[in-house]
Structure formats: structure tokens, C-alpha cells
Amino acid sequence: MKETKSGADPLTGQKWKKPPFIASPWLRYGLLVAVVVYLYWTFNTLPFNWDRIAEGLPRAARIFGGAFPPSFERGELMWTGFKESFQIAFLATLLGVILSIPIALMAAKNLAPLPIYLLGRGLIILSRSFHPVIVAILFVAAVGFGPLAGILTLILYSIGFVAKLLAEKVEEIDWGQMEAMRAAGAGFFKTLIYAVFPQILPRQIGLSMYQLDSNLRASAVVGIVGAGGIGSTLMNAFGRYDYDFAFAILILIVGVILVSEGISGWVRKKIW
Amino acid sequence: MVEQTAELTARPWTRYSRKERWIRFAIYFVTLFAVVWAIRDIDIFWPWVWDAPTQIQNLGSRMWPPEFEAWSAILNAMLETVHIATLSTMLTIFIALPVSYIAAQNTTPNRLTLWIGRFILVSSRSVNTIIWALLFVAIFGPGVLAGILAVMFRSVGFIGKLMGEAIEEIDRRPVEAMEATGASRMKVVLFGIVPQVMPAFFAIVILRWDINIRESTVLGLVGAGGIGVLLQGSIDTFAWQTVATILLAIIGLVLLGEALTSMLRKKVL
Amino acid sequence: MLEISNLVKRYGSDAPVLKGLDLVVEGNTVVSVVGASGAGKSTMLRCINRLVEPTSGSIQLNGRELVNLRGANLRHARRKIGMVFQGFNLIDRLTVMENVLAGRLGYVSLYQAMTRKFPQTDIDRAFHLMDRVGIAHYANKRADELSGGERQRVGVVRALMQEPEILLADEPTASLDPKTSEQIMVLLQSLASELSLPVLINIHNVSQARTYTDRIVGLRNGQMIFDGTPGEFNQEALDAIYGGIEAPDETGGEEQPTEEAQTP
């Protein structure tokens, strides 16, 4: 250490301590105390129903006992559920991605004039601010139970993600290509087609694939609040204490998600 | 030169060769077919679709203006939501770190532990928080505990996977140097690995806390505590103006969480 | 004939970049514009095809005023002004042919542009020009697979596809190695006489300006301080343009970034 510079001192007997991760001792111990106090406070104020929790273990045993072996008997019902989830995810991705393109162009600072930019950003922020499950509940309340609410929810979900990242990509494009097209006398749309789209196309395809995968996952979740698909089937099975059927659905959901993640990753790697 | 046109025969040019064009058409056709199939087959009552904009507008108008009478209950529920997110993130760390250690190829003791680690991560990640919540509500009854456990079970996969990747990317040499000094396994980890993954660790935990706040807002919809319980209750009783207030509160919380995490990130990294 | 008179450009409320510039370019002369970085060369060139909006003044191309044009009129005027860029500004992910045909975007319909169904006359013209500069065999290659010199040739052909009445070149050789940049300069010089096209070249490299152009214009701080033939361009003029700013690139461009940086 640097203390060795003072050569007059004998080198032996010097003390060395690891410099602490957080320099100020006040902050260091303050944080520790804060964590302890926080834990104490939350455990005292949060409404834990200990009696009910105590029943947990036997209940868990009953549920898992009921769940084994998983029952694939009602394959028909499962197939309809999964098919509907696929349809919801597919249609929502398609519509969401198509809508995302104009919104992304609106929300790109380098292309859009300020009022349009703010509108585009506003649309993106609006579609991102709520968890899809909350959006789904509202759509179910507005347009009724079923896949329509699911599609609407996931369109919004897709816009929030795809449009945001696409807009960032548009803001990063090489401006020289824009200049070259404008110098050739191309109008706005021709400039878009030649100078902007080729530059964002790989990102667009990658995002679409990612979003399809992500919508498929989400469609299983929004179904739980009544927006159609396999999630609704799962919720019904849980509601009727059909644990063996529910467990079978869960296993299939995990399987389908893994396969879809694999496919989407493979396609994205191919195209990139 | 351009005037020499007559001497040179016209050379046609098309962007795509015949084969490429056929492939393109095939892709278009398959997509179109899938769209038509999905639209015809899906169980949608079409008059509702045309009616949807009016219905949505209708719902919107019923929410206006937001009603703030229940603000103290909402505030309490928000606090509960934050607690669920924070507690579960804290507790997750203790599970996720060992799991990431055995799920990283360069630190795992043997093949069996590697696969156990990966199995834990995959099963945690592929089940959504809400589905975990459904399960834990069934076991422990509705309440905060089910919510905390649900968020934890989902976060283990997230933090574990990213930490595992961080561990796999570390510089091998300091670890080798530590091993060469004859240090025990634990000491090697402490001196060779921990300092290298520290920044990644903080970044990941902060990121997950932010995500967990969002996730915690919906847990209540299946009875697992937090603001969602209140939201579901207000929707069930058609108290739309209260619903609007809750939605505003959620936006506020999410924005607050985002601001806080970006501040923390700057401070820590 | 290009006539610039009293051209002023001011960004925001800063001091003007161009302070009342006058310039006349006639016939098929190759004019080089020299000056230190920030002298206003690039701004002047971009004012001509209105990539930069002039603050005041007048620019006339063959008797047509360019400064007040908007919308379709502006686009029609731009078709007649070809431009070659320092960074080539090719559309990397499209083929060479598509890049070349992009020079016709001001002429074809949106549908033709979208489906790449360009008229056969355009395609013939593209092949002839590509033959002329020696890149016809790359027609179906992606633009980013080419080397720097080849990319700049694509850029030149794209500009010529517009059937321009004047060619602007903004530092066309600054991203190329010395040998390739000489080749591009030779190309520009010979194309100017073949097509009887006036060419305006912004250039940093004074020795290339002397060798390959008919007339040299020197800018400093937004004002023209030299206008004459390469023979008249002596040490005194050089000092007036660059004095006290930086050493000019007298010998041949060793300091220029080489094309390795450009090719993927």
C-alpha cells in the first residue's frame, strides 16, 4: 500500500484493513440499521393471516396430491385453449407490429416535428404504463369476456414494446442516407422506403419475433382475468379444484413457452 | 457514353430472382392463410368488435372524474404493494445467488448440479408471477404471503439467470491466481469472483426491483395482496371513479419506481 | 450555369457561417472549393440543394431561383443537382443496383419505388454508367460488401442517374486512401467533360485541387478570399486561406482516414 513510501518507519507491524465498500461509516451502518428497521416494520404491519398460513402445508400436500398424476384426459379442452392463445398472440402481434411502425416514426425525434413527436411518445407511454393484466381487466369490463379483450390488450402491449424500441432504432439511423435520398429529389415516403426502412428492417423482424413469443406468454396470463385463451382454461380448472387438469395445463404451458422461446431465438439469430 | 445506348443491348434487371420471388410469395401466402384461419376460427362475436370503441369510450366516461374519497385505503394498499416488491426482492437474493452459482458453467461443482440449477431457473422463469400467485393463494390463502412467494419464485429465475451469465463472463485469470495460492473454494469465490460480479449484481437487483413493483400491482387480482385487491373490489362493485383513482396511483407508483431506480443505478454504478 | 449571390447562412443566433458569398460556375468547369474546417464549404454546398436552408441571398441554376422553392418544386429542382458525399451515404443493406436506381427516385412513382419496378430506360442507363466506372459486375451485391473506392463510384453513379445539370461533391475523397482518392478525382474530372457537366468539389487536399480542377475557390470564415486558376494559386493564397489555422494537406493525404475504416 502507499504507506510503505515513508521508508523511515519499520515495515513490520503496520495495520491494513480492507477499505470498506461504502466509504462513509455513517452511511454504511445507517443502511444496515435501515434494512433491519424496515424488515421489523414490514413484518409487523403487513397483514399476515398466520392461522390460515399454518394450514398451508397440509393444503399444499392435498393440492399436489390431487395434481399427481397430471390428467391429460380432457385434451380437447386444452387444445381449444392453446389454439385460442395462439390465435390471440398471432393476431395481436400482427396488428400491434403494423401499428407500431407509424407510431415509432412519430416518436422518433429526428424525423417527426415536435407536436407529432410528443403525440407519438405519449401513445407509447400510455400503452406502457399498465401491466397487461390490468389492461386486460379493463378491456374485459368494456368489451366482455373472451379473446377480443385479449387481442386488444396484447395489441397495446406490443405497441408499448415494439414502438418504443423501434423509435430508438429510428433515432440511431445513419442520417447520411436520408440526406442522399433527399438530395436525389425523393419525397417523404420514398425517403422512408429507401433510407429508413432498410436500416430498421433487421431490428423490426427481430422485435416482431420476440414480441410473438412474448405475446404467447402474456396470452396465458391475461386469460386468467377472463381475456380468453389457455389462461382462462387454467383459471377454470383452478376454480373447480381440478388440480390434476390444472397441473397438466401448467406443464404444457411451460413446454410451449420453451419451444416458442427456442424458435424465436433461432429465427432472430438467423436473420440478424 | 450515355449517348452510346444504341450500341449496347438492353439488359433487364429485377430486384429478386425467380426463386426469391416464389419464396416471397409463399411467405406472404402462408401469413395470409394464417390470418384468415385465425380470424375465422377464433371465438369472437363480431358485432361486439364493431361496438368496442363505443364501449371503451363509455367505460372511460364512467371513470371521469376520479374520486379521491378512498385515498387512505389506496395509500395503504400502495405501501403494501411496495413492501411485497421490496421484501420479495431481498429474500430472492438469498436463493438466487446459490442457484446462479451452480447454474454457471464455470463454477458449478459437477454436471448434476449444473442441470439442477438450470432446471430451477427454467421452471421459475417459464411460469408467470400471476400463475405462481394463483398457486400460492390456493395453498396459503389470499394475502400478502402468497404475493411475496409468487414474486420470489419468479424473480429467482430472473436474477439467477442473469447472475449466472455474469459469472460465466468473468475473467478467469484472477480465479486461477487465487486457486494457485492454495485458497479454499469459499475463499476463491470471495476474492476471485465476488468483486467481478458486484456491479452486475447491483444492476440486476435494481432492475428486478423495478419490475417487481409493476408485477406487485396486479397480484391482488388473484387475491395475493397489494393494490390489485382494491382494484378488483372496485371493479366488482362498479365503482369506476375509484378505479380511475387507483389507476392514477399505479401510474404514479410506477413512475416513482422508475425515477428511484434510475437514480440508484447512477449512484451505485 | 450556377449563380450564387450574396448568400448568407446563420445557424440560430450565432455568427453567420456564410457572410454574403458570390460565385458563378459556368459550362463544364470543375471547380474546387478549399478552406479550413469550419470555413463554410460544406454549408455552401448544402445550401445549393437546400439540404441546409439559406438565411438570405439567391442561388440560381440555369436561370431558376432555388432559394424559395418548396415541396414538389424543391424536389424537382433537386433532381437536377447531383450530390456525392464524403461518407458515400449509400444504403448499406440494399444492392448496388438499388442504390444506383435510388438516383431516379425523384422521377419514378411511389409504387415503382416500392416494388423496385424501375423503367427499362433507367436500368439501361444504370448499367451504362456502372460500366463506365467499372462496377457493373457488382450490380447484385450488397452495397456494404464493397470497398471504399467502389462505394464512392456507386455514389457517383447514383448522382449521375439523376441526369443532373450540376454535380456537387462534398469531400468525395476524404474517406479514401490516397491512391483511390486520386482515381475518384480523375473520374470526376473526366465525367465532367464527357457529360459537359459543371462540378463543384469541396476538398481538403490542396494538391489534388491543383491537379484535377480547372478553378480554385478559397473560403475563409464564410467569405471568398481567393478565386482563380490552379496556376494562380500560390503560397500567398495558401497562407491567406489556411494561415494561422492549421497546416494544409499539401502533399497528398497521408493524414486522411483510410478506407479500412469504411469497409466492413
The CATH number of the domain holding residue B211 is: 1.10.3720.10
The total number of structural domains in chain C stands at 1
Contact C30, C199 (CB under 8 A): yes
Query: Is the residue at B64 inside a domain?
Result: no
Which residues fall within 8 angstroms of residue A157, CB to CB, at 6 or more apart?
Answer: A92, A96, A127, A132, A135, A214, A215, A218
Contact with chain A for residue C75, Cβ under 8 A = yes
- Residue C260 distance to chain B (closest CA, Å): 29
Strand ranges of the sheet holding C64-65, from the earlier edge strand across to the other edge = C18-25, C2-9, C56-61, C64-65
**Domain limits at B235?**
77-268
Contact with chain C for residue B186, Cβ under 8 A = no
Task: State the DSSP H helix or E strand holding residue C220, giving kind and residue range, or none if neither.
Answer: strand C215-220
State whether B134 and A235 contact (CB < 8 Å): yes
Contact with chain C for residue B5, Cβ under 8 A = yes
C-alpha cell at A23: 466509504
> Which 63-122 residues of chain A touch chain C by CB within 8 A?
none
Please classify residue C126 by burial: count the beta carbons closer than 10 Å to its beta carbon, then call 0-12 exposed, 13-18 middle and 19+ buried.
buried
**What is Dmax (Cα atoms) for chain C?**
56
Contact with chain B for residue C124, Cβ under 8 A = yes
pLDDT in tens, chain C (264 residues): 899 999 999 888 888 888 888 999 888 889 999 988 888 888 999 999 898 889 989 999 988 898 888 888 999 999 999 999 998 899 988 999 999 999 999 999 999 998 888 999 999 999 999 998 988 888 888 988 898 889 999 999 999 999 999 999 999 988 888 888 899 999 999 998 888 899 999 998 888 888 888 999 998 888 888 898 888 888 888 888 887 665 555 444 444 443 333 333
Separation between Cα atoms, residue A149 and residue A138, nearest integer Å = 9
Query: Is the residue at B246 inside a domain?
Result: yes
C-alpha cell at B247: 389507476
> Which 14-73 residues of chain B touch chain C by CB within 8 A?
14-15
Query: Is the residue at B118 inside a domain?
Result: yes
Contact with chain C for residue A190, Cβ under 8 A = yes
Q: Residue A143: which of A155, A153, A133 has the closest Cα?
A: A153
Query: Is the residue at B46 inside a domain?
Result: no
Residue count (chain A): 272
Query: Is the residue at B62 inside a domain?
Result: no
C-beta neighbour count of B180 within 10 angstroms: 8
Q: Which residues pair with C2 in a beta bridge?
A: C25, C61
Chains that touch A (3 or more CB pairs under 8 A): B, C
Residues of chain A contacting B123 with CB distance shorter than 8 Å: 254
Of B1, B2, B11, which has the smallest distance from its Cβ to C123's Cβ?
B11
Q: Which residues pair with C199 in a beta bridge?
A: C30, C167
Separation between Cα atoms, residue B163 and residue B98, nearest integer Å = 10
DSSP output for B14-60: -SS-HHHHHHHHHHHHHHHHHHHHHHHHS---HHHHHHHHHHHHHHH
**Domain limits at C46?**
2-261
A10 CB-side CA count, 13 A:
2
Query: Is the residue at B202 inside a domain?
Result: yes
The full set of domains in chain A, from first to last, is 71-271 (1.10.3720.10)
State whether A195 and C91 contact (CB < 8 Å): yes
Contact with chain C for residue A198, Cβ under 8 A = yes
C-alpha cell at A113: 416535428
Going by the DSSP 8-state scheme, the letter that residue A107 receives in this structure is T
Contact with chain B for residue A224, Cβ under 8 A = yes
Separation between Cα atoms, residue C106 and residue C100, nearest integer Å = 13
Contact A151, A222 (CB under 8 A): no
Chains that touch C (3 or more CB pairs under 8 A): A, B
pLDDT in tens, chain B (269 residues): 444 444 455 678 887 788 888 998 999 999 999 999 988 888 787 888 888 888 888 888 888 888 888 888 899 999 999 999 999 999 999 999 999 999 988 888 888 999 999 989 988 988 889 989 988 988 888 888 999 999 999 999 999 999 999 998 888 888 888 888 888 888 888 888 888 888 889 899 999 999 999 999 999 888 888 899 999 999 889 889 999 999 999 999 988 988 998 888 887 76
Query: Is the residue at B71 inside a domain?
Result: no
CA–chain centroid gap for B34, Å, is 28
The total number of structural domains in chain B stands at 1
Q: What are phi and psi of C214, to 5 degrees?
A: -90, -20
Where residue A239 falls (left for φ over 0; alpha for ψ -120 to 50; beta otherwise) is alpha
ipTM of this complex prediction, to 2 decimal places: 0.83
Separation between Cα atoms, residue C170 and residue C248, nearest integer Å = 17
Query: Is the residue at B3 inside a domain?
Result: no
Angle between helices B227-236 and B194-219 (to 10 degrees): 20
Here the contacts of A256-262 (C-beta below 8 Å, separation 24 or greater) are A256/A82, A256/A216, A257/A216, A257/A217, A257/A220, A257/B126, A258/B122, A258/B126, A260/A212, A260/A213, A260/A216, A260/A217, A261/A213
What's C155's domain CATH number? 3.40.50.300
Contact C240, C195 (CB under 8 A): no
Q: Residue B55: which of A126, A130, A152 has the closest Cα?
A: A152
Residues of chain A contacting C91 with CB distance shorter than 8 Å: 177, 180, 194-195, 198-199
C-beta neighbour count of B27 within 10 angstroms: 10
Residue A229 has pLDDT above 90, yes or no: no
Residue among C48, C89, C163 with most chain A CBs within 10 A, to mutate = C89
In chain C, the residue whose alpha carbon lies closest to the alpha carbon of B15 is C116
Residues of chain B contacting A42 with CB distance shorter than 8 Å: 83, 86-87
Separation between Cα atoms, residue C150 and residue C187, nearest integer Å = 12
Contact with chain B for residue A38, Cβ under 8 A = yes
Of C98, C116, C128, which has the smallest distance from its Cβ to B4's Cβ?
C128
